[in-house]
Amino acid sequence: IDSAQVSSGGMTYTGSDGSYTIEVLAGGGGVSVTKTGYNPAFFTVPVVEGDTTVQDVALMAMDLQIPYSTGFETGDDVGTSASNANFDFAVLDTMFNADGDTILPSSGTYMLAYPDSAGVNYNNNDLVVWTADSAYDISEYGALTLSLDAIYDTETNWDYFYVGLMLDDSSLYVSGASFVDGQRNGIINGSQTTWTRIDVDVSWAVGMSVTATPAIIFDSDGSVNGYWGGAFDNIALVSNPFYLAPPGHVMANSYNSNIPVSWEAPAGDGRVSYNLQYFHIDDIADLHRPMVMGPNGEMVEVTKGPRQYETLTFDYDYTNSSTRSLVGYNIYRHNWPFGDGDELIGSSATNFYVDFGVADGGYYDYWVEAVYHEGTSPPSPNKASARAGTPYVMVVDDFVMADFDSTIGEHWEQFSSGTATWIAGDVSDAQNAFYPNEFTNYVDSLNNSADTNFALVSDGRSGDAMLISPFLDFTHHESAVLDLDAFALMYTSSEFSDYGSAKIKARADMGEWVEVLDLSYNHNDGWEHEMVDVSWLAGHDKVQFAFGYKEGVYTTYYGNGMAIDNVDIHTVPGLTSLTATGTAESVELAWSGGRAGRDNSNYPVFTEEEKMLAYERYLALQNSH
């Protein structure tokens, strides 16, 4: 194919024979190949200084179907605006924004703009919806993309334009992937001062609805003003059957000086899950933000962040064309937990790779993308976790309750994204670390413990901090219990407002982390005793518990921080050595039992909480039969 544009920092075009040459900086990077009428191809190509790397490309002709498009010109479907605010969306030929700039359409004579008045900023608490005038049949299509040109100015992390669809049930749906890869998910935020093209994946609508109506939602929070809104042009709903299937499940082997990684080949067909947010168009006036406890103990609506919508997960089934030419795989590594981005560490023609570039004691996550002549696929559906080197493993019976009286303790590990770390300290340290409100100081309530010292995050507003227990061996046990005292200061986060989190998770043998306790709320009364049955870990080796504090985008009125104390990880073994002695009239049973590894001189003693845990496990077993 001649005259295809090849871009990688610089730019060139393919010749009449389809060949090209382009110079790039050492290390390489992204290479995109585009031509009108063809699906674009993108590759990540590593390049060594002084070397020449060959990257073959096969562009596939587009087979586009466009059920809806508008440039807001005369005769187009220009849509309507529904508002719970003082402004509306409007079709304009010129937008005079509050910064004094004149904005003209991306092309043609008209465009869609918000707000509809010249020279003004939008208001706090605006909630406005634009929808196309008609619903369009999508029942015969496969993958769907909603494309549009946009220019915008909103308060970063607080005010949002959402691009989505209204479906047959008259509800408005947008992707809700926690603002990751925002524009791909139709979440527009921040400032873009020149027209830019945005392609939003809305394939989730296929199978959910017979018809779809393109929509744009604007949602501003309750404080801070000074932003002028946005303008949109050339909106189109496009069906393109072109798809590059990702690799299957990824696996990684731990505890050696290198880490072998393997994965399944791309499937001929498969399923992609979408996390969606939605609300019924008639309920626009009833949407609100999360409720939190106010300074006088009353529940109040927070002023910052977007409103809460309903949520759901929808699965989209795809079929990968047999004409795609798979040539290999790219392997990416992330230094867990707080490494800077994902690094392309190598390529493989097979579904196996060995990573020799790891450090003893390091933790890593791996994911893989398939490379075709037509471009690279989306990422593999999972990330595989691994640890390099042989860890110290402690039999759980030898674990001694961690009271953090002087230090964090031997064989505990910790990581942080900023200056915050886990330290052993007292109430005065927490006063400095947690930023408590002077009028309602919940840190004072930490004095309700007889212990002087405990483990705490050294600064609740200076990054994330994670504390990880020693590796524990539960191989020969049938139960597992986590027992601790915990404290946190923060509002509870939602999908729409990030106030941070304080959570405890567990995993076995580098498997997936599983949340066992969510402490992400204001502990108004000081320490709270927590006891959790984690017996799903029983029988496993190399068990870890992670005590994670995440700094939120937003701070909270009462302060921010997390503390733990008296962490006890143990088993509840139940009864052993059952014997039976029979007579003509009766059978006499005898047994022994106790708290193995805790207090060998007092086996029969169980706490009331342990008894309840044992009974709940018994009921669960009975219900499973």
- Mean pLDDT: which of 343-357, 436-450, 575-589 is highest? 343-357
pTM of the model: 0.69
Lowest average pLDDT, out of 38-47, 126-135, 563-572, goes to: 38-47
For residue 177, what pLDDT is reported?
47
For residue 29, what pLDDT is reported?
77
**What's the whole-number mean pLDDT along residues 385-393?**
96
* Tokens of residue 160, six digits: 């949002």
CATH of domain 1-61: 2.60.40.1120
User: Residue ranges per domain, the chain?
Assistant: 1-61, 65-239, 245-267+324-390, 393-570, 575-623
For residue 600, what pLDDT is reported?
38
Distance CA 158, CA 553 (A): 10
At residue 164 the predicted structure's pLDDT band, cuts being 50, 70 and 90, is very high
Q: Which residue has the higher pLDDT, 271 or 75?
A: 75
At residue 492 the predicted structure's pLDDT band, cuts being 50, 70 and 90, is confident
Lowest average pLDDT, out of 106-120, 540-554, 574-588, 598-612, goes to: 598-612
Q: Are 360 and 392 in contact (CB under 8 A)?
A: no
- Does the pLDDT of residue 448 top 70, yes or no? no
- Quickly count helices (H) and strands (E) in the chain: 2, 45
Q: Are 462 and 591 in contact (CB under 8 A)?
A: no
Per-residue pLDDT of 521-535, as tens digits, reads: 999 889 999 999 999
**What's the whole-number mean pLDDT along residues 556-561?**
90
- Does the pLDDT of residue 51 top 50, yes or no? yes
CATH of domain 393-570: 2.60.120.200
Distance CA 237, CA 258 (A): 47
Amino acid at 150: A
Q: Which CATH class is domain 245-267+324-390?
A: mainly beta
- Does the pLDDT of residue 615 top 60, yes or no? no
* Tokens of residue 286, six digits: 């009833």
Q: What is the DSSP letter of 151?
A: E
- Residue 81 pairs with which residues in a beta bridge? 130
- Mean pLDDT: which of 44-48, 96-100, 154-158, 284-288 is highest? 96-100
Distance CA 132, CA 117 (A): 21
Instruction: Tell me which H or E stretch contains 615.
Output: helix 608-623
Lowest average pLDDT, out of 247-261, 329-343, 487-501, goes to: 487-501
Distance of CA 520 to the CA centre of its chain: 17
DSSP3 helix / strand / coil % (the chain, rounded to 5)? 10, 40, 50
* Tokens of residue 184, six digits: 């791909």
At residue 142 the predicted structure's pLDDT band, cuts being 50, 70 and 90, is confident
Nearest of 311, 223, 313 to residue 494 by alpha carbon: 311
Q: Are 472 and 399 in contact (CB under 8 A)?
A: yes
Distance CA 584, CA 55 (A): 87
Instruction: Tell me which H or E stretch contains 596.
Output: none
Q: What are phi and psi of 182, to 5 degrees?
A: -50, -50
Nearest of 214, 236, 73 to residue 134 by alpha carbon: 214
- Does the pLDDT of residue 340 top 60, yes or no? yes
For residue 295, what pLDDT is reported?
63
Question: Which residue do the tokens 């320490």 mark?
Answer: 527
- Does the pLDDT of residue 304 top 50, yes or no? yes
At residue 178 the predicted structure's pLDDT band, cuts being 50, 70 and 90, is very low
Lowest average pLDDT, out of 89-93, 373-377, 421-425, 602-606, goes to: 602-606
Q: Which residue has the higher pLDDT, 313 or 317?
A: 313
- Does the pLDDT of residue 145 top 80, yes or no? yes
Instruction: Give the other-Cβ count within 10 Å of 399's Cβ.
Output: 20
Identical fold for domains 1-61 and 245-267+324-390, yes or no, is yes
- Does the pLDDT of residue 36 top 70, yes or no? yes
- Does the pLDDT of residue 579 top 50, yes or no? yes
Per-residue pLDDT of 10-35, as tens digits, reads: 899 999 999 999 988 887 678 999 99
The proportion of the chain whose per-residue pLDDT surpasses 90, expressed as a percent, equals: 58
At residue 589 the predicted structure's pLDDT band, cuts being 50, 70 and 90, is confident
At residue 259 the predicted structure's pLDDT band, cuts being 50, 70 and 90, is very high
Distance CA 330, CA 332 (A): 7
At residue 68 the predicted structure's pLDDT band, cuts being 50, 70 and 90, is very high
Q: Are strands 471-473 and 393-395 parallel, antiparallel or unpaired?
A: parallel
**What's the whole-number mean pLDDT along residues 450-455?**
83
* Tokens of residue 600, six digits: 């060998």
Distance CA 78, CA 287 (A): 26
At residue 495 the predicted structure's pLDDT band, cuts being 50, 70 and 90, is low
Per-residue pLDDT of 349-367, as tens digits, reads: 999 999 999 999 999 999 9
- Does the pLDDT of residue 428 top 60, yes or no? yes
Lowest average pLDDT, out of 214-228, 445-459, 589-603, goes to: 589-603
**What's the whole-number mean pLDDT along residues 306-315?**
84
Name the average pLDDT for the chain: 87
Per-residue pLDDT of 179-224, as tens digits, reads: 334 445 788 988 999 999 998 989 889 889 999 999 999 999 888 7
- Residue 347 pairs with which residues in a beta bridge? 330
For residue 603, what pLDDT is reported?
36
Distance CA 415, CA 353 (A): 27
Instruction: Give the other-Cβ count within 10 Å of 444's Cβ.
Output: 13
CATH of domain 65-239: 2.60.120.200
